[in-house]
Amino acid sequence: MSDTIFTVNSPCSRPSIAPYCERVRQMVTPRRFEHIVRVAILAEAIARANEFSRDELRATCLAAILHDVARDLPPAEMLALAPPRTELEREHPLSVHGRAGRRLVEQWGISDKRVLDAIEGHVFGVSHNNRIGMAVYIADVSEPGRGVNDEIRELAMHNLFRAYQRALDAKVRYLQANGKAVHPVTLRVHQEICDHT
């Protein structure tokens, strides 16, 4: 694993975040953890560039570190935390990992709704009035390790909403162009951001 993970550039170097980093690290694969830390570094940069308050900044870092906490759980454990609610979720059980992560960290005592909504929403999308969720969503799809969405990452540094709109729009168009089902939550938030434009 990269030694850069706990450097001063990482949210994991913050005393309030570090214990969660360690807990998450024990629950996911090393590759996943490296992705998670890259997401957290980028989410923090997006939050700073968009002048989030200190409190929002901390919530963004925490949500980013926790967003994939349930991603590598054994399937039975994940589904026990988040039973499928739709046909799409039954066909793609991994798609419940955002909601499973939310349930899991609630059990750890995290109750900040902004953090919980961002964790759940990183899979299917968040409302346009959820700045923390938008920052985490964008960071997840555009962190440098993905090798895609560089323009969304750059746009997010000066226009969070436009970057989120572009990320969500690209996802919906991709799914529809490939004849794949779009989750009802994604359709709802996509419609919401279209109406908000």
Cα 123 to Cα 137: distance, rounded to the nearest angstrom: 8
Work out whether 120 is an interface residue with Fe ion (CB under 5 A). no
Least Å distance, CB 4 to Fe ion, is 21
Least Å distance, CB 39 to Fe ion, is 9
Work out whether 68 is an interface residue with Fe ion (CB under 5 A). yes
Longest dimension (CA), the chain: 46
**What is the tally of helices (H) and strands (E) in the chain?**
11, 0
Question: Among 20-28, 68-76, 124-132, 176-184, which window interacts with Fe ion (CB under 5 A)?
Answer: 68-76
Query: In this complex, which beta carbon is closest to Fe ion, that of residue 88 or of residue 159?
Result: 88
Give the residue carrying structure tokens 């308050």: 53
Query: In this complex, which beta carbon is closest to Fe ion, that of residue 73 or of residue 155?
Result: 73
Question: Among 16-24, 66-74, 165-173, 177-185, which window interacts with Fe ion (CB under 5 A)?
Answer: 66-74
Q: Which of 127, 96, 93, 94 is nearest to 113 (CA)?
A: 127
Give the residue carrying structure tokens 């168009």: 173
Site string for Fe ion, 15-54 (x = CB under 5 A): ----------------------------------------
8 Å CB contact between 110 and 23: no
Give the residue carrying structure tokens 């570190």: 65
8 Å CB contact between 43 and 135: yes
Query: In this complex, which beta carbon is closest to Fe ion, that of residue 146 or of residue 162?
Result: 146
Which residues here bind Fe ion, judged by CB under 5 A? 68
